[in-house]
Every structure is written in structure tokens, then in C-alpha cells.
Amino acid sequence: MIPTEIQRIVLLIGLAAVGYMMILAWNDDFNGKTDAAPYTSAPLTQGDGTNALQPAEQLAGPATAGAASTSNDLADESLLQDDAGRLPTTGSATQAVASGQLIEVVTPVLKVWIDRAGGDIVRVQLPQHPLNIDQPDVPLQLLDRSTRQIYIAQSGLQWLTGPGKGAERRTFTSKQNKYELLPGQETLTVTLNAMLDGIEITKEFVFTAQEYLVNVNLNARNNTGTPIEAKLVAQIQRDDKEPPGEDSFSLGPQPYVGAALTTAESRYEKLEFDTIDDEGVYDQYVDGGWIAFLQHYFISAWVADPEDSNRFFGKKNNAGQYVFGYISPAQAVAPGAQGQWHSRFYAGPKDQKKLEAISPNLNLTVDYGFLWWLAVPLFGFLSWLHGVVGNWGVAIMLLTFLVKLVLYPLSAAAYRSTANMRRVAPQMKRLQERYSDNRQKLSGEMMALYKKEGVNPLGGCLPMLLPMPIFLALYWVLYESVELRHAPFMLWINDLSAMDPLFVLPLLMGVSMFFQMSLTPQMGDPMQQKMMKMMPVMFTVLFLFFPAGLVLYWLVNNVLSIAQQYYVIRQAEAAAEAKG
């Protein structure tokens, strides 16, 4: 008959195997449910382009005192209008393409749809960034106007004085329905034209090869006999839904979804949906500046003229969508003269170097949390290692080794304390047996023993605490740095920013943590010792859902810690024997 102990071991192994297969099945089901719905053939349009606007509504506050808007060529999502986001009740996307209301622009890194009604950017796709790793030919869709999502970028002129009357939507004309930046071309200019009661309006979108930044120029030639005055308004309108295809399950901090800007008081200030809901309109003047909408790995942003004092705002309209943008200073245009307004629009990945070059503090939209001061140099060094070895997983392993090397003096001191604890462990056991019924006397005798032998019972905790700040900073580096999105390592791990699909790394990490704890003497009462023994199991369950790159870091850190601890303990024991 098979001994009871062997039966118990076989049963535990069987239960572990069944649990492992159940986790794999759950992971497959979860990933299947998070697939994004197919894209429509084209974004929705604003109807026939002549829908009437509601009466103008000024922002609250002294900044609007005395201001009056008589006309504008913005969409009804304008800062000064309040029926934002009302989709057309007739027509379809297919009909819009057939009628030529949408303009499609293709570059190597962008695919953009522009609605002739107002010249709004109503869809942006990123061909070089797949929606997910299982659909490499489906580009990520950042902006869109559809029944599933409202996320568009708008710009136009708010007329303060002049002969323009009415609030109907202006429809632009263009020479082509589709523009493409061909190989060998550096730039592509898409020009839209419109007339507004004797004012000739030109709107230009200037695309650059391999760039996600689009220059937006508005020109107004005054062919009337009276002076006119106008401001540029640039804004992003979005609902509060989670980004399609970006849903993920994680037990750690989640990426920020919302607006952000830079001000004189704060280099990086968030405008959360809840803040707008609770406080109403956000209104502040900033020299230059930018306003962006953030999601996991990607942003869209309007970048204002750095020479102007611009008015930045955030609000929620009557349709329940959020509008974030800025208004430039007023510019007067004499009869026969031409006014010019400039802005820049970015829609793409959170590339720190490119964002920093576009505008001051725009790179801070790569939000590394409160440990940014550690995460920024950590990413810089990790990126340098990647440039040397060409594999982000190997770079993480090298980074872990170098971090352990730098922290070795502190770790060695902690491991020597662990060796001392192992040396006095037999005496500790005798004291626990002798004073098992007198906890106060036991505590006193233990402290006397620690003092006599020069032992610090808390010294062994240091190796566990030292890597934690780096662990947290690396978590945000892996979670926020678009460079590691879909970055492969080896074998079955094809995305270091996602959890291990086979959960092999978390299980190995749990085993390494168990061996590491076995080298540390168990202190405290039996209940505390049982809790400590449960830690590898709890950490393993927690790490099942962490990015594979982060688990790889912790696994390598544990393996190196075991080697260091074994070496230092053997040294300390040899020294103690020689001294004895």
C-alpha cells in the first residue's frame, strides 16, 4: 500500500495541476472577451454641415466679461456652444464617403479622417501600433466619432467682430477626397477653403513623414470693407468611456485616462472627469502651453503658440461629453489684409524624447507616478541597455544584475545579520521552550541574547525592502513606456508589458521566493512563522496578473539574492568557526 505521506504529495501535485489548467482556461476566456469590436468603414459626420447651433454660452468668470461672440466656424462642440456631440439622425458613414464629406489622409505613421464640416479630425489610426499582439494587421484607433465612441479634435475661429452673422456650421471644400504622403515626400499639405460673408477662410493640415505631429494653420483674408477680429479655438472632445481594445485586468495601479495640461504653477496638472463633474468649468491663462488627453501608452494634444498667453479650459457639455482646449488671444484683421493663426496637433504614442522636443513638460504625460524621479533615469538606463543587447527582457535582466551589484554592500550587511540569526537559532529555541508560558520573560531574555551576540533581528528584512522602490518604479516604466508595448522576450513570452500567458514566470518566482525564505531563520511565534511561509504563495497569486517584464525582474532579483545570501552566510559561518 502506498504510504499516506506519498498519497498526500501526489494529491497536492494533482490539485496544483488542475488549478494551473483552470487559470490558463480562465485567462483564455478573459482575453477572448476583451477583443475590441470591428471598426466601421468610416467615422460618422456632422450631417449636411448646415445644422443650426444653439445660442452662445460664455464661460463663467471675469475672463469672459464684456466678451461677445457673433459667429464662428467651429463645430457645435465649441467652447461657447452647448449641444456638443449630437450625432446626425440621418445618413450613414458609407453615404458620407460617397458624398465626399470625409477626407482621408494617409502617411507612414498616421491614417486620418477629416470632416469637411468644420474641418474636424474625426478619426485617427496608428498603422505602426497594432490594436493587440494577436491582430498585427489591425491598427490601433486613437480618435473616432462613432456610435461606440466620441473622441475628436477640432479647431476653428471664434469671430468677435465683423459682418459674419448666424451660427450655422461652415463646410469647407477641398480638391481631393484622399491624400497620401508618398515615399520620398517629406511633407503633405491638405488645404480646405470656405467663404464666410466676404471672409475667405483657409485651413491647412501639414503632415510630415514619420511624424505624429500635424501643423494646423488657419488664414482669414478680409475682403469686406470693415475690420474683423477673431480668436483661434482648439479643443478635444471626448466621452468618458474606456479606450476600446485597451481594457486589461491588473491588481496594481491603473493607467490614467483623462486630460492634462501644463501651467505656471504646475508642470503637469491632471484634469480628471470627476474634477470637471464636481467643480464645473476649468479656466486658466497660460503662456504657450498644451492640453492633452491621455490613455494607456497614447495621447492626443493641442500645442499652443509659445509666444501667446492662451486661455485653457475644460468643461462638460449638455450631451454629457467633455471638452478640453484653449483659446488664443484676439487678432484684428484690417480690410484687405490677412490674419494668420497657428497650432499643432499630436496624436500618437507617448514617445518621451519626441514629446519633450515638441513642447516643455509634454513628456511628463508619460506618468510614472510619485517615483518618477527614480523611474525616469531607470527607463533611460534600461533603454540604453536595450540599445546594446537588442532585447528588452535581456536588458531587464542586466538591469537587475547591476542594481544588485550597486546594492551589494548593504545587502551583504543584511545577510551577515541573517547568518548571525542562524548562529543563535539553537539558543533562541531553548529560550522559547524554557519560557513558553511567560512571554514577558521570553522577550527580555531574547533581547539580552541579541545584545550579547551582537545580532539585529530586523537586519535580515533589509534585502526584502531594498528592491521595493525599484520594483515600483519599474512597474510604471513597464506600464507606461510605449517602447515596451508588445516587446518580445523569448519562447512563449511575446509581450513583456502583459502577464505571462502560461504563468511560468510567476510560478518560478514563487519557488525562488520559497528558497530565499528557507535561508532566513524563522522568528516570532508559530502563527507568525506560518504567515511567513504563506508569503510565497500569496506573492505568486498576486504576480500571476503582473506584467511579465516585472515578474522577470523579481525572479532574477530573487535568484541573485539567493546566490548572494548563500555566499555571505557561508563566509560568516566560516569566520565564526575560525574565531571559535
How far is it between the farthest Cα atoms of the chain? 108
Sign of CA dihedral 53, 57, 63, 68: positive
Mean predicted confidence (pLDDT) in 139-157: 91
Distance between CA 390 and CA 396 in Å, rounded? 11
Domain positions in the chain? 51-242+254-367, 376-579
**Residue 313 region, left (φ>0) first, then alpha (ψ -120 to 50), else beta?**
beta
What is the pairing mode between strands 187-196 and 199-208? antiparallel
**pLDDT score of 516:** 78
pLDDT, tens digit, 9 for 90 and up, residues 241-255: 888 765 544 555 677
> Which of 468 and 93 is assigned the larger pLDDT?
468
pLDDT of residue 115: 94
Res 51 pLDDT > 60 = no
pLDDT mean across residues, the chain: 78
Average pLDDT of 18-25? 60
521 confidence band (pLDDT: 50, 70, 90)? low
Q: What is the pLDDT of residue 246?
A: 57
pLDDT score recorded for residue 453: 62
pLDDT confidence of 172, banded at 50, 70, 90?
very high
Least confident range of 164-178, 207-221, 468-482: 164-178
pLDDT for the residue numbered 53? 27
pLDDT band at 94 (very low <50, low <70, confident <90, very high): very low
Q: Decide if pLDDT at 80 tops 50.
A: no
Instruction: Please tell me the predicted confidence (pLDDT) of residue 19.
Output: 63
Chain segment 108-125, per-residue pLDDT in tens? 999 999 999 989 999 999
- Residue 398: pLDDT over 90: yes
The amino acid occupying position 459 is G
Confidence of residue 34 (pLDDT cuts 50, 70, 90): very low
Mean pLDDT for the stretch of residues 409-430: 69
pLDDT of 448 higher than 60: yes
Cell of 404: 544588485
Q: Is pLDDT at 481 greater than 70 in this prediction?
A: yes
Beta bridge pairs of residue 222: 199
Give 143's contacts (C-beta < 8 A, 6+ positions apart): 121, 122, 123, 124, 151, 152, 153, 300, 347
- DSSP letters, 456-509, are -TTGGGHHHHTTHHHHHHHHHHHHH-GGGTT---BTTB--TTSB-TT-HHHHHH
Query: What are the helix and strand counts (H, E) for the chain?
Result: 13, 20
pLDDT of residue 189: 95
- What is the pLDDT, as a whole number, of residue 8? 61
310 and 285 Cβ atoms separated by less than 8 Å: yes
Q: What's the pTM?
A: 0.78
Per residue in 182-239, pLDDT (tens digit) is: 988 999 999 999 988 888 999 999 999 999 999 999 999 998 888 889 999 999 999 9
Cell of 575: 569566520
> What average pLDDT does this structure show over 478-488?
85
pLDDT greater than 70 at residue 95: no
The SS3 of residue 10 is: helix
Question: Could you tell me which residue, 35 or 531, shows the higher pLDDT?
Answer: 531
Does 266 score more than 70 pLDDT? yes
User: What is the Cα–Cα distance from 182 to 512, expressed in whole angstroms?
Assistant: 54
pLDDT grade for 50, boundaries at 50, 70 and 90: very low
Distance from C-alpha of 511 to C-alpha of 367, rounded to nearest angstrom: 33
- How does pLDDT run across 325-379, given as a tens digit for each residue? 999 999 999 998 999 999 999 999 999 889 999 999 999 999 887 888 888 888 9
- Secondary structure string (H, E, C) spanning 64-99: HCCCCCCEECCCCCCCCCCCCCCCCCCCCHHHHHHH
DSSP state, 183?
T
Spatial neighbors of 350 by CB under 8 A, at least 6 apart, are 294, 297, 298, 299, 365, 366, 480, 481, 482
pLDDT for position 44: 79
> What CATH class does 51-242+254-367 carry?
mainly beta
